[in-house]
Structure 1
Amino acid sequence: MAEKNNVFFDFPEMDVELLRSIKKSIDASYKNFSREYGEGIESFFDPLLQFLVFFEKLLIATPWPILIIVFCVLAYLGSHSKKVVVGVILSFFAIGYFGMWDNTMRTISIIVVCTFMAVSLGIPIGIAMARSDRAQSAITPVLDIMQTMPSFVYLIPIVMLLGIGKVPGVIAVIIYAIPPVIRLTNLGIRLVDKEVLEAADAFGANTWQKLTRVQFPLALPTIFAGINQTIMMALAMVVIASMIGVKGLGQPVLKAITNQYFTLGVFNGLAIVALAIIFDRVSQSYGKRIQKHLYGAVNG
């Protein structure tokens, strides 16, 4: 009776040889694709690599007092909060004192570039989703896959195609971090009150004017929430990207994991946390201030 139940309830499986042949054909096809087009794709990303290297060298070569002053000015312009400025000063002094300055500058350069690329690509895609239900239905499953797929999986095809280094790491970070800004841009624009849009139509506003002067300003809090999430996810991906040669705070953390260096891992992890808090506080405050200003312009 037990044997019959096992036979009856066994799930039908694909033939082992057929499955093996399918896997081999897919692997061979991707390897041939990477051999044929890998160099061309890599050359396409050369400007991004050059800019990233330039920005990283600029941050490392600039004397630390000047950088701290610049960071404090940017933090104050973004937040208008003296507490945030004090936090920036204390955080970067601690980072420099414990010998993590260069790696922190490398991480900042990667985060800034990745966030800029993710926002530049994500906001237009989010706007397209908000303006078209068909585009939303087509893009949403892709975003679902990007957000649920384990981050390590991103590294496999990218490394096979481009090898190891900065560019593969940047691409992996962008893919991992871009979904929130796309989703929340779409959501923010769709949540704009229809009565406000009807009033804009009554005043003769065209599609571009409604988008730039009504929808986008009113959606800014939601969009900046997406940017915040993108920054946080980019910082979270820094440690994983260090596995393919991306220098920064992630490499000491990875070294601490493999060699069980508790203090090294904790210090560099806290440096990542400090950067995350600073980016979060400044971007949130800046988004609220810009939204108030533009909302007043809309009402006026």
Structure 2
Amino acid sequence: MAIDLPRAPVGEWFDNLVTWCTDHLSWLFDGIGSAIESSVDGLTDVLNLLPPLGLTLVLAVIALVLSGWKLGVFTILGFALVDSMELWEPAMDSLALVLVSAVVSTVLAIPIGIAAARSDLVSRITRPVLDFMQTMPAFVYLIPAIFFFSIGAVPGVVATVIFAMPPGVRLTELGIRGVDPEMVEAGEAFGTPPNRILTRIQIPLAMPSIMAGVNQLIMLSLSMVVIAGMVGAGGLGGEVLEGINRVDVAKGFEGGIAVVVLAIYLDRLTGALSEGPTMLRALIERRRASDTFPVGVAAGSAAAGGGN
């Protein structure tokens, strides 16, 4: 015998919550929207200050210093390809949107991850929230975002931040909890305050895990570019969406290739940051070798003289 359970009006409850927030917190959403829009527009203007060739060279130098010559060569070839496909402006719009989303997500995710690592209560509270944020289909975030912020880049950034935050929080917590307890106990034995232990021991040792979280956060932000194009964010997402609407394989594929170029560049760059700038490490090692060589020669000469 089937039992008919009453329907739970979960959707209606959420709709009422969104309506209440729209009616009573419009001032807050207006402020957030203005800040995000100003940031995206300002960064887009900065990226467009230089011509494509000039900015490509700047990005290539950054890649050369942080990661090495391979990423530098890829940067020149990849961004030249984007420019040759006449997708430079959409690519810069998407890059600005991704960078703003990544910065906001990082600023929110790392402190929450630190708090979760230092408090089991905070960890238990944040875990189901992160599960909800990570498993909810990204399209669903666009619905309330449009209600709160209308259409444009702002709802795209907000939806991207919500979707991209969980890996940053989880890997930050994982990295700090994974620090060797003996290192922490040694700091406590010397009377180091808890905040100093966090900033001088735990965070530096957890930095590879934290940077891995930032890397994943950026990649998820890029994956939202196309979805953000559905709410008028423009950029490469708009190009891909236009290709889908027109069933234009060439246009959609070119937009996808441009997204891939941005993804590889940002992925390799953030991966290199966790290890330290490649060129800087090489210069330091070369300097140490040059400083050590005369000492070794002098010591060998002295030993030879003493033997004579």
| Among 17, 25, 38, the residue aligned to 1:50 | 38
| Among 79, 84, 93, the residue aligned to 2:71 | 84
Match in the other structure for 2:286 = none
Change (3 A) 1:101 1:160: same
- Tell me the CA shift for residue 213 of structure 1: 1.1
Q: Is 2:217 the partner of 1:217?
A: no
| Among 54, 61, 67, the residue aligned to 1:73 | 61
With structure 2 as the length reference, what TM-score do the two structures score? 0.85
| Among 225, 236, 248, the residue aligned to 2:235 | 248
Identity %: 38
Q: Which consecutive unaligned segments of at least 5 residues does structure 2 have? A: 282-308
- Is the 8 Å Cα contact of residues 33 and 149 (structure 2) preserved in structure 1? no
1:63-84 Cα deviation digits (max 9, x unpaired): 12221121112212321x1001
- Is the 8 Å Cα contact of residues 228 and 280 (structure 1) preserved in structure 2? yes
| Among 33, 38, 55, the residue aligned to 2:26 | 38
- Tell me the CA shift for residue 40 of structure 1: 4.0
Change (3 A) 1:11 1:112: same
| Among 13, 16, 21, the residue aligned to 2:5 | 13
CA RMSD in angstroms comes to 1.9
Structure 2 matches for 1:86-125, cutoff 5 A? Answer: 86-125=73-112
> 1:286 is matched by which residue type in structure 2?
L
Q: State the SS of the aligned residue for 1:45.
A: helix
Pick the structure with greater CA Rg.
2
Structure 2 matches for 1:188-227, cutoff 5 A? Answer: 188-227=175-214
1:199-239 Cα deviation digits (max 9, x unpaired): 11222221111111111111011111101100110000010
- Is the 8 Å Cα contact of residues 242 and 254 (structure 1) preserved in structure 2? yes
With structure 1 as the length reference, what TM-score do the two structures score? 0.88
- Tell me the CA shift for residue 249 of structure 1: 0.5
- Tell me the CA shift for residue 23 of structure 1: 5.3
Q: Distance in 1 between matches of 2:74 and 2:107?
A: 29
Q: Distance in 1 between matches of 2:3 and 2:35?
A: 51
Q: Which consecutive unaligned segments of at least 5 residues does structure 1 have? A: 1-7, 294-300
Count of matched residue pairs: 279
> 1:60 is matched by which residue type in structure 2?
N
Match in the other structure for 2:15 = 27
Q: State the SS of the aligned residue for 1:249.
A: helix
